[in-house]
A and B are shown apart, each in its own frame.
Chain A
Amino acid sequence: MAASPEPTTVLACEGICCHLPAEPRPVQVLHGISFSVSRRTSLGIVGESGAGKSMLIKTIMGLNPTARITGTVRLDGTDVASLAEKKRNAVIGRKVGIVFQNPMTSLNPFVRVGRQIEEHARYHLGLSRREAKERAIELLRVVGIADPEECYSFYPHHFSGGMKQRIMIATALACEPDLLIADEATTALDVTVQKEILDLLQVIQEERQMAMILVTHNLGIVAGRTDEVLVLYGGHVVEHGPTDRVFATPRHRYTAALLSAMPQLDQPAHTRLATIPGQPPNLANAPKGCPFAPRCPVATADCHETMPVMTVSADGRHRFACHFPVAAGAEAAP
C-alpha cells in the first residue's frame, strides 16, 4: 500500500483499568494499561496464567458486561468505549477479528461451519447469501482447508482441532478486519499444529496488512513473530518495547526471569530450566508496591512499599516499571 508510508494506528488503548465485581470488594484485574498497534505490525502480549491477558482482550472487545471499566479504547480513531453497546458491538465486530484459545468449543456444534464463518459478514456488511457463501469458501481456501466447497456445509464435529482453529481464523477474517487478535490461539493444539497455525496467522497478517495481537504465556511464540512485546504481570504492564530489544536486553526483573526460564536451543540437552520461584499474585489482595516484589530476587523494602513508575528509554520505544532494572547493557545504542 503505497498510499500510507507511515503505519496508521489501528488500536490505541489509554489507561485501561478494569474492576470485576467480587466479594467483599471489587477486584482490580487491570491497572492503567496503555499501548497501541499499527497497521502491518504485530504486538505480543505475554504473561503468566492469571496475568490478565484475556481480561485485557475482553475489555477491549466489550465482552465484560459486569466489569467496571475506565480508560479509552480507540479503534481506527473511534472511541469505542464511549459508544452505546449496540453500536460498539457493531464497530468492533466489523473491525476486529478474534481467535480464541480453544477451537473445540469456539464453534457451535449445532451450526454448519459455513454459516458461522459468514454470519457476521452478512450482518455487518450486508452481503447477500451468495456473496457471503463465495467469501466463506474463499476464506476456507485461504486458511488451507482442502475441499472448501464441501466443507462449507459440514458441521464442526467433522474437523480436527487444528482444522477447527483454521476455520476460526477464516471466521475472524470474514469482515476483512483491521485488527486480528489471537488469544492463546495455539495453546490447545499440539506442537506441530501450533507452528502451522502461527505461520498461517503471520502470512495472513502480512498479506492483508492488518494489525495483529498475539496473546500468549509462551515467550517463544512471540520471538521472531512480533514487532513489539508487552509484558503483563498481575494486571500491570511491567515492560513494553520492540521484541528484539526486550529479548536482548530485558530491563524488568520479571521479564529477565521469564527469559531465563525459556528453553534455549543452544543449551546442552537435559539442562535444568530455571523456573521463577513463588506464586503469581493473588489479585484479590495485591501488594501495595511492585506486584513482582514478593518473587523478585533483588526486591528491597521500598519495592514492597511503592509502585515503580514507568521508565521510558531515551528513544521512547522501550519502557519498564522497575525500581532496580537489569543493567541496560547495549541498549543505549540506537
Chain B
Amino acid sequence: MSAGALPYLKAISTRLLAGIPVFILVTFAATALSSLAPGSAAQLILGENASSQQIAELNAAYGYDLPVWERYFKWLGGVVQGDFGRTLFSQQSVAKLLVDRAAVTFEIAFLAMFVSFIIAVPLALYTASHPGKLLDTVLRSIASVLLSVPTFVTVVLLAYIFAIVLRWLPATGWENFSDDPLANLWYVTLPVLCLAPHQTAYLYRVARGEFLATLQEDFVTVARAKGMPLSYILLRHVLRPSLPQVLTVLGLSMTYLLGGSFIVESYFAVPGIGWTILSAVNSHDFPVVQAILSLTVAIFVVIFILVDLGYTLIDPRVDVS
C-alpha cells in the first residue's frame, strides 16, 4: 500500500499547488474589499460616532491604516501558522469559530447529498433500464418540476408545512451533534429536506442519462448475450462506468449546496458558515468574512481534488499522474 500511495500523494500535492494561485487571488481581493469602502475601514467598522482614539486603537490592533498588500501579507503570515486572527467584537479566535460553523454547514450539506444520492441513483438505475415505463415517465416529470422550484420557495413551503401546520419540526434553532445527537437530528431535518429535492432531481437526471448511455454500450449487449440477469448487469457493468459523470455532478453540486446553505441557514437561523458570513458582512467583521472566503476557496480546491482522485479510483484507464 505504501508504494501504491506515493503517486496519490504526489498527485494531491501537485493539485494543491495548482490551487494556491486561486486562493491568493480570492483572499487578496477580500482584503482589498475592506479598503474599497468609502472612508477608512476603521470608521466603517466603528460607525459614524467613533472617537479618533477608538479608531487609532483599532488600527493599532488590526492594521487597517496599513496599505492593502502589507495587511495581506500580515494576514497570510498568520494563516500559514493557522491563525486567522480574532473576531472584531467578541474577540474570539476566528479559526475556532470557523471550525464550529463549518461543521454545521457540512453536516447539512453532506446529509443532503447522502439523502439525494441514495434516492436518486437507485431510481435512476431502475428507470434507465426500464425506459418509457410508467415510473420512468412519472419520475422524469417530478424531476423537472423539482428542478424548476427555487430553493427559497422550497424553504418557505416546507417550513410552513412541517413547522407551522404540522408542528413536527422546529422552525428555527440548532443543537450541535456533540451536545445532543437527538436534538441535532431534530433540528437538521428541515434544512436537509429543503436542500435535498433540488439536489435529488439534478442527480437523478444526470445519473439516468448516464446509465441510459452505458446501457447502449456493446459490452452491455455482450453481457446480455451471455445470459446474465439484469440486476447483475446493472450492478456489475452499468453502475461503475457511469460513476465518473455522477461524481462530477456530486462535486459541482457541492457548490449548489454551499450556496443553498446561505438561504437555508439564514431562514432557519442555523449557525453555519452561510449564516455567519451574512452576519459578519452586516457587522463589518472583516476577519470573519476573509476567513470564510478563504475557507470556501479551500473547500472547492479540495472537492476538485477529491473528484479527480475519484476518477482514478473508478476508471482503471485513468492514471493518477
**Bound complex: CA A155 to CA B315 (Å):** 10
- Could you mark each residue 106-127 of chain A with 1 if its beta carbon is under 8 Å from any beta carbon of chain B, else 0? 1111110000000110011000
A171 touches B232 (CB 8 A): no
Q: Tell me the chain B residues, 260-283 only, with Cβ under 8 Å from chain A.
A: none
Residues of A close to B315: CB separation below 8 A: 109-110
**Interface membership of chain A positions 135-176, coded 1 if the CB is closer than 8 angstroms to chain B and 0 otherwise:** 000000000000000000001010000000000100100000
Whether A106 contacts B219 by the Cβ 8 Å rule is yes
A108 with B227, Cβ < 8 A, contacts A119-B236, A155-B317 known: no
Indicate the size class of the contact surface on chain B.
Answer: 20 to 34
Q: Does B218 contact A (CB under 8 A)?
A: yes
Interface 0/1 of A159-197, CB less than 8 Å to B: 000000000100100000000000000000000000000
Given A109-B241, A110-B314, A155-B317, A90 and B219 touching (CB < 8 A)?
Answer: no
Q: Is the interface of A mostly helix, strand, loop or mixed?
A: helix
- A102: chain B residues at CB < 8 Å are 218
- Contact digits for B219-238, partner A, Cβ 8 Å, 1 yes 0 no: 10111111111001000110
A-B contacts at CB below 8 angstroms, number: 72
Given known A-B contacts A100-B218, A105-B219, A110 and B241 have beta carbons under 8 A apart: yes
Taking a contact as CB atoms under 8 Å apart, the answer to whether A108 and B317 are in contact is: no
With A63-B221, A157-B316 as given contacts, are A108 and B241 in contact (CB-CB < 8 Å)? yes
Q: Which of B225, B228, B236, B317 has the most CB of A within 10 A?
A: B225
Interface residue ranges of A197-226 to B (CB < 8 Å): none
Tell me the dominant secondary structure on chain B's binding face: helix
Residue interface bits A51-92, CB-to-B below 8 A is 1, else 0: 000000000010100000000000000000000001001111
Verify A93–B227 contact, CB threshold 8 A. yes
Given the contacts A100-B221, A123-B232, A110 and B316 also touching, CB distance less than 8 Å: yes
Contact of B317 among A105, A109, A123 (CB under 8 A): A109
Q: Hey, which chain A residues are within 8 Å of B219, CB to CB?
A: 105-109
Interface positions of B (Cβ within 8 A of A): 217-219, 221-229, 232, 236-237, 240-241, 314-317
Interface residues, chain A, CB within 8 Å of chain B? 61, 63, 86, 89-94, 96, 98, 100, 102, 105-111, 119-120, 123-124, 155, 157, 168, 171
